[in-house]
Structure 1
Amino acid sequence: MSLTATESIASIDDELSKRTIALDPGGYFIIYLDRDKDLICAKHFTNVIDERGLAVDPETGKPIPAKGKVVREASTIFQARTAKELCVEIFERSQPCLVTMLDHAAYLGREAQKAEWALLHQQEYIQD
């Protein structure tokens, strides 16, 4: 049985999501939707990358877990009506830019587009 185009794309994306990535010393973002206000939101958190390549909390020096709830205060919160507006806020209006790696910038652009689509189509958004 052959895969549909949608299934094929989902399979490619699922496989690529398993790859190892270098972490951005500029920090990380948690993207979510504020459906009450019809906004795409992104919380930015600072981190330090240690000698093992792990993101650690700059205040405690403890590794930041990749899964599960982490209680930390965001350094900045961005809110926008569209993916483009969110990216302009993060990449063009924030000085200095909080993103220091091109692959991280590309990832954030993809996630902003996914979040916008979910907002417009009343679908669940889950950050990759």
Structure 2
Amino acid sequence: MGMDLIVDDLTAIDDKLSQRRIDLDPNGYFIIYIDRNDRLIYAKHFTNVIDDCGLAVDPETGKVIPARGKVERTHTMVFSGRTAKELCVKIFEETQPCPVTFLDHAAYLGREFVRAEVALVTGKDYVQD
């Protein structure tokens, strides 16, 4: 089995899992991006309110926040790190109270921070999953 086939298989597994329904963390969500000039990974934290349908709504307007597309909202905190590990330490160990309350959310952030770090090191594009 060639390396391309293995990568394709792993990508297919992740793509399928990305379609599953997840419960949103009531403490909020993060928008992750990289800044090549600063050579940093950034994670902007936004608060949300979860409605009766399990959807995130803007606490000020009550409108549903779309999963894709631009939404003009003010972040509550912004974290930055040179590596995924540095970012995780800042968010999960040094920030009290921790802005993440669900373990699956913490695992997701760890995966995304590693992907962002790889993109930063390799020069590839990073798009948050």
Question: TM-score normalised to the size of structure 2?
Answer: 0.96
The alpha carbon displacement at 1:95 in A equals: 0.6
Question: Which runs of structure 2 are paired with 1:3-82 in the superposition (5 Å)?
Answer: 4-82=5-83
**Matched positions, count:** 128
Q: Where does structure 2 lack aligned partners over 5 or more consecutive residues?
A: none
The alpha carbon displacement at 1:33 in A equals: 0.2
SS in 1 for 2:89: helix
Aligned residue for 2:97? 96
- Deviation by residue 1:80-105 (Cα, 9 ceiling, x = unmatched): 00000000111111110000100000
Instruction: Tell me which amino acid in the other structure corresponds to 1:127.
Output: Q
Structure 1 residue ranges, 4+ long, deviating more than 3 angstroms after superposition = none
The alpha carbon displacement at 1:62 in A equals: 1.0
The alpha carbon displacement at 1:51 in A equals: 1.0
CA distance in 2: counterparts of 1:43 and 1:72, whole angstroms: 11
Q: Where does structure 1 lack aligned partners over 5 or more consecutive residues?
A: none
Question: TM-score normalised to the size of structure 1?
Answer: 0.97
How many percent of aligned residue pairs carry the same amino acid? 63
